[in-house]
Structure 1
Amino acid sequence: MAASSQALPQKPDGFSKYRPLYRAILAANWDEAQIFFNQNPAAIQSPLTNNLDTSLHVGAKAGNASFMEKLVSLLLDHELGPRDAYGYTPLHIAARHGNIEVADILVRRNSNLLYLHNRRGLFPIHCAVRNHRKSKEAFLYFLGVTRDDEYGQPNPYAGPTGVSILVNLIVCKFYDLALQLIVRYPDLGGHKRTRNDISALDAIVLSDCSIINNHNLNFWQSFIYHCVSKAESTTSTPIFHLITSLLQWLVGKSIVNKMVIHHQVVKLLKCLCDQLKTLNDTQVISLTEQALFDATSLDIWQVILNIAEAYPMSVYFLNSEKQNILHVSVMIRSENVFNLVCGTSVLRTFFPDYRDINNNNVLHFAGKLAPPHKLNLVSGAALQMQRELQWFKEVKKITPSYFLSYRNKDGKTPSMVFTEEHKELKEAGEKWMKETATSCTIAAALIVTVIFAAAITVPGGNSGENGLPIFSNHNAFTIFAISNAASLFTSATSLLVFLSILTSRYAEQDFLYALPKRLIIGLVTLFLSIIFMMIAFSATVYLEFGHNRRGVLIVVAAFACLPVTSFVLLQFPLLVDLVSSTYGRGIFDQRGFPQLPF
């Protein structure tokens, strides 16, 4: 009976008499269930719930193979495929819950169950892909028993239904299985699934976290990346597994698995894009246009490169707002895509001339405020403002000077857009800078006060005969004098620098270099003043109480490291971020990016 012809019962209370049977099936209590069947023979095939679940559905969900073997033996082969209210058969349910043994019992009795679809056109293999246990074994079982050439049966791997399997494998991050499927059925790369109108290429973009940007890897990660790349290129599977196992033992499982998954996705992406070369323009545009702009928004440059290599004209696609990939990359702050485009000289010259439907040029997009998820990659409103100014400055490099005077549909120049969009961020940056400078000013002033007093009242006092310090002939006193003076000078410098931050005019351009540079100088000098102060204090304690006992010096020095370490742990990350963002290589580096075809 067709699933669409079934309707939900109007009186759910009518199923209350089946509750003992339902509980018996869930508990895999065959004796109790058999007693119920003997008293109510029709209950074997009758719906037990308002969802039209039969005993087979409930048993397939419970997953007890022994119970299901006995239950199936009471039914004929053609009676093993009852449908619930949504058209699911018991085999669908077993697949969805990853109950392979139950599924095998049903398939051995009636293999035609593999080719019955539910009301949405999904076969049991579709349910096996996204099983609740997230088990690859469940899918591999159904892949092994579901044929594409079964006489008189539909082919689950053809067209939209096949694409749906592939898409679900990608969504579940079973990339190795997706690669197997696309190798067996390469045509799947040229279709979309009916539901949600999504292609395998779109699905890869949506699982963007699986693609690694190898330009952002550190030394060890780059080394592992290189090793996995070499191992992946070998034709010997045992050698590949041996190399990855060794790397897992050396550096940990997590990072190696991430690299392996990345290479699986890249191979899958290449297979899908190779299929584009066999399609006509209309088909390619339908499959790639949305994926291209989604990849731009998510900053997955590898997707854009592979699509462009298969269909070079894709780099000139425009979205519904008449924006190209350069516009979108600047607006969303996708630095990798921006570097990819700008690394190709022809596109770097040609793309900025485009304007969207609101007459915005690329500088107008640079003037817009970055999305929150991009702003939050940088700590502190001041550094966020600096990053925004860096974007505007970098985009200005690839545009003619007269672009600054261009007005959009609202009559605003790029500079006007930047000022208006970043008004609140600028105020927040000013507040953050002042609060940071105020806190550090208090610390610097306290150090100046203490160190100045220590210079006047030297350890041990002065001699009554000549007025010179009593311990002036000791090496420890020399260390005290030098470190005390150094602490005073550096803390005074820090104090003045932080005061200059408090009295700054806080213009937009000040956030680019002036304010970060002052904050760097202030933090460095404050850090040095703390170190010198601890050295001076340690020398004083040694002179007063040490009496040439090294143990006292070791203990004092150990405790003196505590405030220095605290400063490093609490403030050093901020200092590193400031130096890196102000004087580092930055995010705009086209080296290492390949040339886009055009």
Structure 2
Amino acid sequence: MESSTSQSKKISNLDNVQPAAEKDLNFYLPLYRAIRDGDWEKAKRFFDDNPGAINATITDEKDTPLHLAVKRGQKINFLHKLVEEIPPKALELQDDSGSTALHVAAALGNTRAARLLVTKHQLLLYIRNNANYLPVHLAALHGKRETTFYLLVFTKDDEEANLFGDESGALLMRFAINARFYDVARYLLQRYPQQYMRLSMGQTSKGIEKNPTQEEEPGPLEDIAQDPSAFPSRTRFNIWQRFIYYCVPLKLENFSNYSDEEDMENTQVPGKNTYQIQSFKGNCIVSGCKKLRAIIWRVLDSLVPYIKHIHDTKLLHHQAVQLVKHMCNEAVRLDNTNSSLILKGSFLSAAKYGIDEIVQEILSVFPNAITFKDKGGHTALHLAIMYRHENVFNIINQQSGDYKEFLLQPFGDKKNNILHLAGKLAYQDRLDFVSTALLQVQRELQWYKEVEKFVLPRQREAKNKDEKTPLMVFIEEHSKMITHEEQWMKSMANSCTVVATLIGAVAFAAAITVPGGNNSGGDNAVGNNNNALVPAPAPAPVANNSTDEGLPIFRNEVAFIVFNVSNALALFSSLSTVVMFLAILISRYATIDFLYTLPNRLIIGLLALFLSVTSMIISFSATLYLVSGQKELILVPLAVLTCLPVTLFVFLQFPLLLNMIKATYVPTIFSSHKSNKKG
């Protein structure tokens, strides 16, 4: 094998290249068309007629036929035949950007073409283009994961070559992080921690000074802290997605020279795209169960793309969290000044974007991070309140300790305290997380009340430079929202009142006009009843004494009892609905009412309305069953039709109801909050 130390050198004096290159580019149009069409027979005839053409530059960009074939994405058979015709040294030919055919394959993510080229001439891995990029750099830069893996595994980085020991390693790490190849970045971090430090502190290699006018780039950890969707805390799942997320096992990709037992939760991916099940230590039964579980999920992955998407999301989260832990551990090995320099930007960015995994990890290894401030004088606690990230607020609150007095200090030109921040209107993207207008004001009030518990009593009425207390700021900032919420609630109350009134009227009418009618006396009660719509085939036996006169004919039937109970529930619950929504209509709509009073009334009203609608439908179904002769064949279609409006109501209105119940009676925003009495 040719030594990797001969990397980065330019190619010259190749046989037959110069004479062919001197010809006009139009001369090569037949060859160009043959490559474009993937016609090897025509291309081979052109090469036979013009021996130098196989190494010639045939485009304005100085592409050789091999460059062009890779760019056009030709099938591997065409490339294989073309590569067989080219001498190994000629594979090193470069276009006007200094890129070899392997650079092109790497940028396009053509792993098969890359494998074909590397197999014939491994020195292609070490040739740099005009931008000083290796092929693996371009693969990572363009987000080609499979190709990056392949090239990184086969790029031999021994101590003599030291490919990634200089700025190349730092550059590759940045490209990998930008492409979300966090496992690649972690591999580089473990092998070249000095490059991570250099990137994090804004240094360049070989003592090159930075341009003072150049905007400072964020470090690798700060890059990750600005990517919220790479972490579980900032990824939203519905109930089914969450269930799959927690059940699906990880299949972790691995380098041939890179293994970490804590990374291997269930399985690994070797160099090829086949999964090799790795069992944990344990007995054979446990090992067999884990293998079976992994096989089942592997089949589901292939059959259900949605499950694969959730698995890939979980894998991304796992890799991001592991990389953050490793970066934080490397950072705290330095002195306090450099550790602060590396962690400050990422800690404040994580607080701003609500990535509590990063906030928790940095505080665990560097507690003094709680005092970091941005250019506006905001600490992480301020950012958590401004951007309404409850988990970050909880973490900082729990670990504030002796820093609490520092965190409570007024800041900025207006001398606001943190309660003034809670009084300001949240950013729209945070308000959009709440499903209804009512819950937006309620959530804002919950934030205000929670921060109010955190501050000192004297700060609750403290005025800023505008002579405004926190409550005045809250009312002023939320006045338009409160007006909008008031209109929304009145509109909903009016609509629900109309529906409840109609249900009550129908239920009352049904109560005085029972199905089947009443006994009117005589020996044949059924025959003497003029109100009976359809005579029952087997009517309930009616006593001949005078005590039965005026009683419902079907009073002894189970269906009639169901009718009676459901109709009564429909009437009473509809009247309760009317009362509750009338109470909403005449409410004073004070700001504090949106915290509990109004949501409580709306919850009771919606529950009563749901009960009245359901009861009315059941009552109607029981009536239909009775007057249809109590035939069993009618039960199935009747049950299906009964469930239809109930199901629609559940899907359209029940989510609103559940969200309000959760927000009002089970306030989970600050569920992990523990009062910290220090300071």
TM class by shorter chain equals: 0.7 to 0.9
**Pairing partner for 1:140 from 127, 139, 149:** 149
Shift of 1:257: 5.1
Shift of 1:592: 10
**Pairing partner for 1:121 from 118, 124, 132:** 132
**Pairing partner for 2:509 from 453, 465, 472:** 453
Which consecutive residues of structure 2, in runs of 5 or more, have no partner in the other structure? 1-7, 11-23, 205-214, 253-260, 269-277, 281-286, 302-306, 522-545
- Cα 1:542–1:26 shift into 2, 3 Å: closer
Q: Which residue is 2:576 aligned to?
A: 493
Shift of 1:447: 0.4
Q: Is residue 358 of structure 2 the alignment partner of residue 303 of structure 1?
A: yes
- Cα 1:56–1:381 shift into 2, 3 Å: same
Shift of 1:502: 2.5
User: Which amino acid in structure 1 is aligned with residue 231 of structure 2?
Assistant: I
Does the Cα contact within 8 Å between 1:461 and 1:470 map onto a contact in 2?
A: yes
Q: Which residue is 2:319 aligned to?
A: 264
Shift of 1:587: 1.6
Q: Is residue 188 of structure 2 the alignment partner of residue 181 of structure 1?
A: yes
**Distance between the aligned counterparts of 2:401 and 2:194, measured in 1?**
34
Does the Cα contact within 8 Å between 1:117 and 1:123 map onto a contact in 2?
A: yes
User: Which amino acid in structure 1 is aligned with residue 279 of structure 2?
Assistant: I
**Distance between the aligned counterparts of 1:224 and 1:65, measured in 2?**
39
**Distance between the aligned counterparts of 1:266 and 1:523, measured in 2?**
42
Does the Cα contact within 8 Å between 1:331 and 1:366 map onto a contact in 2?
A: yes
> Counterparts in 2 of 1:186-205, with a 5 A limit?
186-192=193-199, 197-205=217-225
- 2:232 counterpart SS class: coil
**Distance between the aligned counterparts of 1:473 and 1:28, measured in 2?**
86
Deviations 1:208-257 (A, max 9, x none): 32322499997957964999999857799711597376157379653555
User: Which amino acid in structure 2 is aligned with residue 488 of structure 1?
Assistant: L
Q: Which residue is 2:654 aligned to?
A: 572
**Distance between the aligned counterparts of 1:437 and 1:44, measured in 2?**
80
TM-score when scaled to structure 1?
0.84
**Distance between the aligned counterparts of 1:285 and 1:404, measured in 2?**
33
More deviation in 240-249 or 218-227? Answer: 218-227
- Cα 1:35–1:256 shift into 2, 3 Å: closer
**Distance between the aligned counterparts of 1:584 and 1:529, measured in 2?**
25
Q: Is residue 409 of structure 2 the alignment partner of residue 349 of structure 1?
A: no
**Pairing partner for 1:239 from 270, 279, 290:** 279
- 1:560 counterpart SS class: helix
**Distance between the aligned counterparts of 1:558 and 1:447, measured in 2?**
21
Deviations 1:455-484 (A, max 9, x none): 233334445568724427434444433332
User: Which amino acid in structure 2 is aligned with residue 290 of structure 1?
Assistant: G
Q: Is residue 372 of structure 2 the alignment partner of residue 317 of structure 1?
A: yes
**Distance between the aligned counterparts of 1:175 and 1:118, measured in 2?**
25
**Distance between the aligned counterparts of 2:593 and 2:249, measured in 1?**
42
**Distance between the aligned counterparts of 2:227 and 2:106, measured in 1?**
24
Q: CA RMSD in A?
A: 3.9
**Pairing partner for 1:377 from 390, 414, 433:** 433
Does the Cα contact within 8 Å between 1:380 and 1:432 map onto a contact in 2?
A: no
User: Which amino acid in structure 2 is aligned with residue 452 of structure 1?
Assistant: F
Q: Which residue is 2:34 aligned to?
A: 24
User: Which amino acid in structure 2 is aligned with residue 339 of structure 1?
Assistant: N
Q: Which residue is 1:289 aligned to?
A: 344
Shift of 1:354: 3.1
- Cα 1:451–1:34 shift into 2, 3 Å: same
Q: Is residue 611 of structure 2 the alignment partner of residue 535 of structure 1?
A: no
Does the Cα contact within 8 Å between 2:80 and 2:116 map onto a contact in 1?
A: yes
TM-score when scaled to structure 2?
0.75
Shift of 1:150: 7.2
Does the Cα contact within 8 Å between 2:234 and 2:354 map onto a contact in 1?
A: no
Q: Which residue is 1:33 aligned to?
A: 43
- Cα 1:260–1:592 shift into 2, 3 Å: farther
**Distance between the aligned counterparts of 1:234 and 1:104, measured in 2?**
30
Shift of 1:376: 1.5
**Distance between the aligned counterparts of 2:427 and 2:97, measured in 1?**
41
**Pairing partner for 2:230 from 191, 210, 213:** 210
**Distance between the aligned counterparts of 1:281 and 1:304, measured in 2?**
18
Structure with greater proportional helix content: 1
**Distance between the aligned counterparts of 1:256 and 1:103, measured in 2?**
28
- 1:454 counterpart SS class: helix
Deviations 1:537-593 (A, max 9, x none): 2333344332x5444456544433332222222211111111001111412122699
Does the Cα contact within 8 Å between 1:404 and 1:413 map onto a contact in 2?
A: yes
**Distance between the aligned counterparts of 1:188 and 1:245, measured in 2?**
42
- 1:343 counterpart SS class: helix
User: Which amino acid in structure 2 is aligned with residue 205 of structure 1?
Assistant: A
- Cα 1:423–1:347 shift into 2, 3 Å: farther
Does the Cα contact within 8 Å between 1:471 and 1:477 map onto a contact in 2?
A: no
**Distance between the aligned counterparts of 1:504 and 1:556, measured in 2?**
42
User: Which amino acid in structure 2 is aligned with residue 239 of structure 1?
Assistant: S
More deviation in 524-533 or 226-235? Answer: 226-235
More deviation in 367-376 or 63-72? Answer: 63-72
Shift of 1:68: 4.7
Q: Which residue is 1:163 aligned to?
A: 170
User: Which amino acid in structure 1 is aligned with residue 99 of structure 2?
Assistant: Y
- Cα 1:81–1:199 shift into 2, 3 Å: farther
Deviations 1:364-414 (A, max 9, x none): 221222222221211111111211111111111101233233334544432
User: Which amino acid in structure 1 is aligned with residue 134 of structure 2?
Assistant: F
Equivalent residue pairs, number: 580
Q: Is residue 66 of structure 2 the alignment partner of residue 56 of structure 1?
A: yes
Deviations 1:169-207 (A, max 9, x none): 334343334333333333343232879834332343344
**Distance between the aligned counterparts of 1:60 and 1:236, measured in 2?**
34
**Pairing partner for 1:526 from 605, 609, 619:** 609
> Counterparts in 2 of 1:391-540, with a 5 A limit?
391-464=447-520, 468-471=550-553, 473-475=555-557, 476-540=559-623
Deviations 1:254-313 (A, max 9, x none): 355544443333222222221112223443333322211221122111212222333332
Does the Cα contact within 8 Å between 2:228 and 2:234 map onto a contact in 1?
A: no
Does the Cα contact within 8 Å between 2:176 and 2:182 map onto a contact in 1?
A: yes
- 1:354 counterpart SS class: coil
More deviation in 322-331 or 394-403? Answer: 394-403
Does the Cα contact within 8 Å between 2:145 and 2:181 map onto a contact in 1?
A: no
User: Which amino acid in structure 2 is aligned with residue 209 of structure 1?
Assistant: S
- Cα 1:108–1:409 shift into 2, 3 Å: farther
**Distance between the aligned counterparts of 1:80 and 1:499, measured in 2?**
83
- Cα 1:308–1:553 shift into 2, 3 Å: closer
Deviations 1:504-546 (A, max 9, x none): 2322222211111111111111111122222332333344332
Does the Cα contact within 8 Å between 2:61 and 2:95 map onto a contact in 1?
A: yes
Q: Which residue is 2:645 aligned to?
A: 563
More deviation in 356-365 or 460-469? Answer: 460-469
User: Which amino acid in structure 1 is aligned with residue 668 of structure 2?
Assistant: G
Does the Cα contact within 8 Å between 1:349 and 1:398 map onto a contact in 2?
A: no
- 1:323 counterpart SS class: coil
- 2:279 counterpart SS class: helix
**Pairing partner for 2:670 from 560, 577, 588:** 588
- Cα 1:552–1:73 shift into 2, 3 Å: closer
- Cα 1:402–1:281 shift into 2, 3 Å: same
